[in-house]
Structure 1
Amino acid sequence: MELLPYLMAALAQKRAAHNKALRLLDGLVQLSVKSRSQTAAPASPNDRDRYILASGVSGGWPGWAGWHQNLAFQTDGA
């Protein structure tokens, strides 16, 4: 699970860290999922598509393998 980034006093590009935190919050707070049994990545996901990754998931969007029963979501084209 990815944690929300902290905004440190001397952090360069605070805007990038803040925007990342907002994208993660948006994915979790407005939670609705397209599938709870997704084991392969969709061919062309849309922004705001969310999936609960099923057991046996492999490949897919970068980092899907090994994240069984976790949330994956598409935002800003990634």
Structure 2
Amino acid sequence: MDETPRWALPLLFAGQAQKEVFHNEALVLIDALLHGRAESADAASPPTDPMPGQCWVVAAGADGGWTGQTGAVACWTDGGWRFVPARAGMMFDIADRGHRIFHDGAVWRDGAVRSDGLYHNDERVVANRQGAIAGPEGGAVIDVEARSTLLSILGVLRAHGLIGS
């Protein structure tokens, strides 16, 4: 075995010539993957002027220098493009989306926490916090049980930060 099983980082061997080449290659890959951040996951063509250290998740229809790399993480280095195949559990913050994506073992998916709310199966289930809702009061007939129930619901919504007080 001459590479690590998960990320294919090159391993060093006793008596190996030019160990620094293998060591540096491993460091470049670690640098790209550790606390991953990518510029976009929607680009299918390489940018014209990338900076060393910038990464992209290659979108479908990849062309140019990214041909055949759909779904991989493409990182620009001093030595050109380095590609890391996606694996289950891989996560990247995506700059132009403003939220995290993760790989489920088959495809990249948007994360649950996004700037406009909390999502479950790509359906927003919690939106931005709304203003306060006044508690029930007044009326000709007061239903004590209904008022108590409404106050309990409002209390829970406030306690969870879903509405203001």
Query: Identity percentage over the alignment?
Result: 36
* Aligned residues between the structures: 74
Q: Partners of 1:72 and 1:8 in 2: how far apart?
A: 28
Q: Secondary structure at the match of 1:72?
A: strand
TM-score (norm 1): 0.86
Deviation, 1:25, is: 0.4
Which residue in 2 is equivalent to 1:40? 45
Q: Which has the larger radius of gyration?
A: 2
Which residue in 1 is equivalent to 2:74? 72
User: Structure 1: which 4+ aligned runs deviate by more than 4 Å?
Assistant: none
Q: Does 1:9 align with 2:11?
A: no
Q: With CA pairs under 8 Å and 6+ residues apart, which has the higher RCO, 1 or 2?
A: 1
Q: Partners of 2:67 and 2:8 in 1: how far apart?
A: 19
Q: Partners of 1:17 and 1:35 in 2: how far apart?
A: 29
Amino acid at match of 1:70: A
Which residue in 2 is equivalent to 1:30? 35
* Structure 1 vs Structure 2 CA RMSD: 1.4
Which of 47, 59, 62 lines up with 1:54 in the alignment? 59
Q: Secondary structure at the match of 2:32?
A: helix
Larger strand fraction of residues? 2
**Which segments of 5 or more consecutive residues in structure 1 lack a partner in the other structure?**
none
